Amino acid sequence: MCPTPIPLYAQDPGFTPLEEAFLESIGITVLHTPEASEYIHQATFVYAPYLEIEILLAEVLNGNDPLVYVGTDVDVMWDRMDRSVKHLLLGRCRDDESRLRKLQLCADVACSFCINRKKSSFPAFDPFPEAFYGMSIWWRQNAFQEGHRQRSESRDGQDEEVKEEP
């Protein structure tokens, strides 16, 4: 019995035609900016390491609630956004009203994203400690709690429901 395949999508404005052809050849649908945000929903796994802060917050996570997100630490980004907004509010960049609005949006998105989520930071990778610096995995706090069920194959080959332990 073949399980239902999970659709996979990739988006990066820097993909070359060769990279796009390779991804398509292994069954990954290549999307073009900003298409990917239309595919993010409550059961989505988003992998976006080192994506620019403003793009991640204003375009990818804004209005979206992925089940799991792996990428640059949102807490760190929120802190950076908060300082940037304060800098602008202090009047050092008075003429940049659109930038101020975007930074405030990013700070708001980061703050709301962190509510009811748990995270785990990536450990240092000994051969290259900077490889995962600032990376973390975030998941919705209630995503795997009581009531969540998973399918498991029993010894006789029949599917049975297994309740995940809290």
Domain identity same for 30 and 88? no
Please count the other Cβ atoms lying within 10 Å of the Cβ belonging to residue 85. 19
Condensed to tens digits (0 to 9), the pLDDT of residues 77-93 reads: 888 777 777 777 666 66
Domain identity same for 53 and 27? no
Domain identity same for 59 and 126? yes
pLDDT given for residue 9 in this prediction:
94
Please indicate, yes or no, if residue 82 is contained in any of the structural domains. yes
Domain identity same for 34 and 48? no
Cis peptide before 127 (omega within 30 of 0): no
Give CA angle at 76 (73, 78), nearest 5°: 105
Confidence (pTM):
0.74
Alpha-carbon distance of 21 to 127, in angstroms, equals 32
Q: Is the pLDDT of residue 159 over 60?
A: no
Pairing outcome for strands 135-140 and 117-121 = antiparallel
Domain identity same for 34 and 46? no
Instruction: Indicate the number of domains in the chain.
Output: 2
Q: Is the pLDDT of residue 51 over 80?
A: yes
Which among 7-21, 32-46, 150-164 has the top mean pLDDT? 7-21
Please indicate, yes or no, if residue 31 is contained in any of the structural domains. yes
Domain identity same for 97 and 135? yes
pLDDT (average), residues 93-99: 71
Domain identity same for 19 and 101? no
Q: Give the range of the structural domain holding residue 86, as residue numbers without chain letter.
A: 42-141
Condensed to tens digits (0 to 9), the pLDDT of residues 132-150 reads: 888 999 999 876 653 344 4
Q: Is the pLDDT of residue 102 over 70?
A: yes
